[in-house]
Amino acid sequence: MHDRSARHALLKSDLEQLAIFGGPPLFKTELHVGRPNIGNRQRFLARVADILNRKWLTNDGPCLKEFESRVCELIDVKHCIAVCNATAGLEVLVKSLRLSGEIILPSFTFVATAHALQWLGVRPVFCDIDPTTHNLDPKAAAELINPRTSAIIGVHLWGRPCDVEALVDLARRHKLRLLFDAAHAFACSHKGRMVGGFGDAEIFSFHATKFINTFEGGAVVTNKDELASRLRLMRNFGFAGLDNVSALGVNAKMNEISAAMGLVSLESLAEFVEINRANYHLYRQHLSTVPGVSLLAYNEKEKCNYQYVVLEVDQAETGIDRDMLDEILWSENVLTRRYFYPGCHRMEPYRSNDPDAGQRLRHTGAIAERVLCLPTGSAVAAAEIAAICGLIEFIVKSGPAIKNRMLSGPTCRHHLRRSTPAR
Q: Which residues contact ligand T4K by CB under 6 A? A: 32-36, 85-87, 109-110, 112-113, 155, 181, 183-184, 205, 207-209, 218, 335, 339
Which helix H or strand E contains 87, and what residues bound it? helix 86-96
How big is the CA angle at 97 (ends 76 and 203), to the nearest 5 degrees? 40
Give the list of residues 6+ apart from residue 141 with CB closer than 8 angstroms, or none. Answer: 104, 127, 152, 167, 170
Least separation, in Å, of the C-beta of 91 and ligand T4K? 10
* Closest to ligand T4K by CB, 156 or 396: 156
Which residue's CB atom is positioned nearest to ligand T4K? Answer: 34
CA-CA distance, 320 to 418, in Å (whole number)?
17
Kindly state the smallest distance separating residue 384's Cβ from ligand T4K, in Å.
15
First vs last Cα of the chain: how many Å apart?
Answer: 43
Which letter does DSSP use for residue 36 in this model? Answer: P
Q: Which is nearer to ligand T4K, 155 or 257 (CB)?
A: 155
Could you give the CA distance from residue 367 to residue 133 in angstroms, rounded to a whole number? 11
**Min separation Cβ 115 and ligand T4K, Å:** 9
Q: Minimum CB separation from ligand T4K for residue 292, in Å?
A: 25
Rounded CA gap, 186 and 194, in Å? Answer: 9
- Identify which of residues 100 and 209 has a Cβ nearer to ligand T4K in the complex: 209
Residue closer to ligand T4K by CB (options 109, 236) is 109
Alpha helix ranges (H) inside 10-163:
41-54, 62-75, 86-96, 111-119, 138-144
**Strand-pair partners of 221:** 80, 202
CB of 16 to ligand T4K, least distance (A): 28
**Minimum CB distance to ligand T4K smaller for 33 or for 104:** 33
Distance of CA 97 to the CA centre of its chain: 24
d(CA 68, CA 221): 9
Shortest distance in whole angstroms from residue 155 CB to ligand T4K: 5
CA-wise closest residue to 392 among 289, 276, 297, 278: 289
DSSP 282: H
State which residue, 34 or 249, has the beta carbon closest to ligand T4K. Answer: 34
Rg (CA), the chain: 22
Shortest Å distance, C-beta 341 to ligand T4K: 11
Query: By C-beta, is 89 or 358 nearer to ligand T4K?
Result: 89
For 316, phi then psi, to 5°, come to: -60, -30
234 or 406: CB nearest ligand T4K: 234
CB of 218 to ligand T4K, least distance (A): 5
**Of 329 and 406, which has the nearer Cβ to ligand T4K?**
329
| C-beta neighbour count of 62 within 10 angstroms | 14
Residues in contact with 402: Cβ distance below 8 Å, sequence separation at least 6, in sequence order: 15, 18, 320, 324, 328, 395
Do residues 109 and 157 make contact, with C-beta atoms less than 8 angstroms apart? yes
The distance of closest approach from Cβ of residue 1 to ligand T4K in the complex, given in angstroms and rounded to an integer, is 14
